[in-house]
Structure 1
């Protein structure tokens, strides 16, 4: 039996995995969706340096989980990648779902595809929070109107402090048993950092013909990918 720790990306909480969880539990695994501090039902919790990394490590240790499969979606690949090395022999596998991957000393903001200044300005203009996306941001992502409404209805502003937090890697990511899930409607190729890591022996690429939010658009195929990773 594996223990899945599921961490959704920016603006989202544990609720984002609701359509994926049943298939994992039906297969006999432990499943632990996690809301990071400052988001969803944990909006009131403060966020500073390494808070989201500690959220993940603390959950694994608090529940005394073994054979852990850590899953990070989008932004959450950054804290998940750091936490994966810190849980030691509890770790079985890491999955990055169309996500960022941490680079030592770099933050989410510092590698933002439109340039750090654009994201910094957006956060500063929203009192230190990254505002949730708008309906138009979901165009071409393989989502129904109902699914988009569900995401927007549950999304909360994302704490800017976590986005500016430089990654601290205690072990090279290339050493970790990893599956990278690329969602093709959000771009045909992984980021440069992920692409470099995928040349290593311990990283595997899986592609999905959907957009950036597969837990909503294709939860059953995503669950099958997670289950396959747990068997490796």
Structure 2
């Protein structure tokens, strides 16, 4: 992926943000998943994780529960969703879904209780990703799997700083970032954070084509400017040591 040079004698370009989940244009393009790849990439993640019926699954940043509903109905998982934004939770994709308001950095979940933690296009929105990954590791059972998908930067690209977070969107003076593009890191940086949390990555896949496809569809629909080729998309799976493999 190439970098675009800034025009001469001009101010630095504003950080690439892209549309937020509140943007009707994004919802029109992605449906309830609100992310590149939609359910297809979710299915890829759970296949690599070896998801079985009855597994306890935690979807962090679940929004209205689209993935929770799918994992429960299609795979027989005991899936539960968490999201810090009441605006998301107030509009579930179907009534009766087990959704709770909670931040990624402080999960109200018992240690060692989850066989799979799903985190899709969310980690780059979290103010302290290291703390969130530590929580993911804490709640996973030994041998449990973290499935992480997100936007990413190419190797060596500088990360946008000072993007805030979505953990406490109602606090005075704090605003949610427009999208997960603003807090994107390189895949190597994310993998290092995952290892520091005590998890062992065992699969990393490049799905940048999905991000480019979404950007093109948004642009075609006249949505807010989407990220250029500087942003890719990846899927990473990591296992908590111990237990069955």
Larger radius of gyration: 2
TM interval, shorter chain, is 0.3 to 0.5
Higher strand proportion: 2
TM-score w.r.t. the length of structure 2 is 0.39
Higher helix proportion: 1
